[in-house]
Homo-oligomer: A and B are copies of this chain.
Amino acid sequence: MAEVISDIARMQQTAESLRLAGRRIAVVPTMGALHEGHLTLIRKARELADVVIVTVFVNPLQFGTGEDLERYPRDLDRDASLASAAGASYIFAPSAGDMYPKGFRTSVEAGSLATVLEGRSRPGHFRGVATVVVKLLNLTRPHVAVFGQKDAQQVVIVRQLIRDLNMMTDLVVVPIVREADGLAMSSRNVYLTASQRAEAPILFRALQRGAEMVAGGERSAEGIIGEIGTLIRSRSGGVIDYISIADAVTLEEQSECRPGHQLLISLAVRFGTTRLIDNIQVTPA
């Protein structure tokens, strides 16, 4: 069974001792509510390192007002036992008060990457993500950090901040893990009603349709986005927040799908009060 550490000084000392002993450390940052997607990240981390630290922290800094901070599912005992079974040696579960003590005021900003897509819909979200990622990497001192492609923009921002701030951690990204019907696994899927759950797989089917259009030679982003939107609206009660075709590195919105240019097709759709995101990467031939 993994050891659960909540004290931040103890986590840092433990990690530093492991480094000095020559052990290779991988970290998997999570907000808990672990599902098969997270467990895939943890198993990947175990392949890449001697010691896997899973962080479980529902980071208040990345939730906006009116978002689901309070109702976000929390069950540390369950998370610890699932993470252990998948290969974690340590669960780091700090308190919000220890992570953001009185007088806390430093933040990490991702610049233009933070104000598009999810960042446009969720102002301040990526300030919270970037800041907590830097803190968690400093506390767990990993050789490698494993993130999921599900949060595509987060991955782009973490890659950028590791490079820009010269953090000594390699980023490994694991493909999205999906339910049998294609719905991307998410801790927020539990919020869905039965009928919403039945409709939600349209998101991935619509993204696949978009990727097929790109593969088939369609170059107009507007045409592809229109088709994805029509599919979602016609097959579900989902309310579209955004559908985007952007440069996979700069996240700049594209009007044209140029050959050889790696693109991120991403979307956010609300089913009632539940907001789901999904994405697919394509490179036009």
Contacts and interface: CB of A to CB of B under 8 A. Distances in A.
A194 interface: no
Interface string A149-166: 000000000001101111
Nearest to A161: B106
A218 interface: no
Interface stretch (A14-22, A206-214, A258-266): A14-22
A113 B109 contact: no
B166 A139 contact: yes
A164 B111 contact: no
Interface stretch (A130-138, A182-190, A237-245): A130-138
- Range for the number of chain A residues in contact with chain B: 35 or more
Contacts of A112: 105
Interface string A76-115: 0000000000000000000000000101111111111100
Contacts of A12: 166, 168
Interface in A1-55: 8, 12, 16, 19-20, 22
